[in-house]
Amino acid sequence: MKKKFEKILHKDHPLKSRRDFLAQGLTVGMGYTFAPSLLSLLNIQNVYGAENCVTTNLMQERKTPVIIIDLAGGGNIAGSNVIVGDQAGQHSYLPTYGRLGIPDSLLPQNGNVNTEMGLKFHSSSGMLQGIMSHTSAQIRQKCEGAVFCAISNDDTSNNPHNPIYWLNKAGATGNLVQTIGTRSSTSGGRSVIPNLSYDPTIAPVPVNRPEDCVELVSLGRVHDNFSQDKAQKILKTIEYMSESKLKSFSEKTLPEQVRMVAECGFAKEPIDARVHGTDPMLNSNSIDPRNDAQVTAIYNNLNDGNQRKEASVAKLVLDGYVGAGTIEMGGYDYHNRDRSDTDSRDFRAGEAIGRILALASAKQSDVMIYVFTDGGISSNMNEADPNNGKFKFTNDDGQRASTFSLYYKHSGGRPSLLHTGNSFNTHQRQLGWFKPNTAVEKSANGISNNVTNLAKAITLNYLALHGDESQLADVVGDNPFGNQLANYIIFGKNN
């Protein structure tokens, strides 16, 4: 535990008492009750003083914003959506893709491939069709991507897929809060974070609707508005909450937490809540997605719950209020659903990606999108959809899992990949590979059977976008790839 928080606390302030843990946004007991958003917004400098803290963001300059899409349930990425290949890379096709839902009549080697975004998608991919429904060819030509072939456990939230804290530490920073998510959890989504990446001072603030965006500003920037004395009083109030009440507290929205603290006797007068009228970029009008014509042109139905949360996260991240955000999308537990149903869910995920790309283009912003699902899925090849011939998915199957990343670069042409000599890196947009039987080769490399290392590889590739790959150990705590580090990098420097 000491190692876990050594970058947060000064050496003279070790975690000893319950109050120490509360000051960091968690308690000890039956497991952990993790940081509520009020404690995330309370900068720890308010508690111990700026001189006793070290910054958690090693890169001071804000780098590419990041949006993470967490497809909850264990859906398909490999084969039916993003093409996967053998040891030679994504371009080197497998002899069959049947267990990945693709019949021989639709093999990618027979021309059923789309390469508009660099990363190869199956031409009948629901995700691809969703992306295309909201993007122009010009936007797609400013994208590059990579697929990461890695085993993960089936349909469970225990896969440490989400590297949101590491990405923030690597430079995905915001000018209001650091991270947000659509679920009240330490990751902001369903899948958990790598074990030692947690930093309670930047834990994701729950954001699901435009009102949540406005509340971030209407409460003011807490570390500006609240004196050290007020911050200590808030923590003291929370300290005396029971475990059950603290758990309830952690699940409430930010304004509800403020009211709850006040009701517990924090102060006689109301907590100071104000709008930052002196900063045109920090007021309730400018931060509200409903007042942003670029947002409403792309997210044209903010009465729809999915569009509402996706627009809120995309707006905050792409406008620089937030460094990294997680969007959880439910319903990706595929087995024994009709293929028309699962393809429509893939289409919805593609729409989420496409809208982010379209908004990034409108706002002239680069963006990195990372997509994962908890586990994988396979087909027994016994039942084909009569409309398109694709096989129905029947079994949870983490041996056939993958994740992928897309990077949109607004200016300067298509993003570059790492070059070795005069040719592209031999990875060919793919880390790890699939065996001829369409299962991940678990001994291929250090990420193939290690989700924590997969999260580190994603962080490494984010660093590589900015030429900072040498700082991996400073960000994630070690370099698990050793002198093979370059073999885990897909993206070249894209400044």
- Please report the DSSP string for 158-172 in residue order: TS----HHHHHHTT-
Cβ–Cβ < 8 Å for 492, 418 = yes
Output the six-digit token pair for 121: 């998608």
Cβ–Cβ < 8 Å for 372, 455 = no
The residue among 42, 29, 114 whose CA lies nearest residue 266 is: 42
Q: Residue 203 domain-assigned?
A: no
Q: Residue 215 domain-assigned?
A: no
Outline where 193-335 has alpha helix (H).
210-218, 222-225, 228-239, 243-250, 254-263, 284-287, 293-298, 305-318
CA 76 to chain centre: 18
Mean of all residue pLDDT scores within the chain: 82
Q: Residue 335 domain-assigned?
A: yes
Q: Residue 328: what pLDDT?
A: 97
d(CA 223, CA 326): 23
DSSP conformational letter for 362:
H
Q: What percent of the chain has pLDDT over 90?
A: 61
Domains held by the chain: number: 1
Highest mean pLDDT (candidates 244-248, 272-276, 402-406, 422-426): 402-406
Q: Residue 52: what pLDDT?
A: 33
Output the six-digit token pair for 341: 């149903």
Q: Residue 152 domain-assigned?
A: yes
Q: Residue 446 domain-assigned?
A: yes
**pLDDT at 7 > cutoff 70:** no
Q: Residue 447 domain-assigned?
A: yes
Cβ–Cβ < 8 Å for 398, 444 = no
The 3-state DSSP class for residue 352 equals helix
d(CA 79, CA 37): 39
Give the start-end residues of each E strand in 7-141: 27-29, 31-33, 66-71, 113-117, 119-122
d(CA 151, CA 88): 19
The residue among 184, 212, 183 whose CA lies nearest residue 70 is: 183
For residue 435, count other CB atoms closer than 10 A to its CB: 14
Instruction: Tell me the pairing of strands 367-373 and 402-408.
Output: antiparallel
Q: Residue 220 domain-assigned?
A: no
Q: What is the mean pLDDT of residues 310-318?
A: 98
Q: Residue 34 domain-assigned?
A: no
Q: What is the mean pLDDT of residues 78-88?
A: 96
Q: What is the mean pLDDT of residues 135-140?
A: 98
For residue 384, count other CB atoms closer than 10 A to its CB: 16
Minimum mean pLDDT among 4-13, 68-77, 126-135, 457-466: which range? 4-13
**pLDDT at 388 > cutoff 80:** yes
Amino acid identity, residue 21? F
d(CA 7, CA 474): 11
Highest mean pLDDT (candidates 1-15, 251-265, 438-452): 438-452
DSSP conformational letter for 227:
-
**pLDDT at 323 > cutoff 50:** yes
Give the domain extent around 120.
Answer: 64-173+323-488
Output the six-digit token pair for 356: 């982010």
Q: What is the mean pLDDT of residues 478-483?
A: 97
Q: Residue 242: what pLDDT?
A: 63
Q: What is the mean pLDDT of residues 234-238?
A: 63
Cβ–Cβ < 8 Å for 146, 405 = yes
Q: Residue 365: what pLDDT?
A: 97
Question: What confidence category does residue 264 fall into, taking pLDDT thresholds of 50, 70 and 90?
Answer: low
Half-sphere exposure for 195 (CA within 13 Å, toward CB): 6
Q: Output the DSSP codes for 390-445.
A: PBPP-EE-GGG-EEEEEEE--SSSSPPBPEETTEE-TT-SEES-B-TTSSB-TTSS
Q: What is the pLDDT of residues 156-165, one digit of tens each?
A: 788 999 999 9
Q: What is the mean pLDDT of residues 295-318?
A: 97
Minimum mean pLDDT among 120-129, 250-259, 347-356: which range? 250-259
The 3-state DSSP class for residue 177 equals coil
Cβ–Cβ < 8 Å for 427, 490 = yes
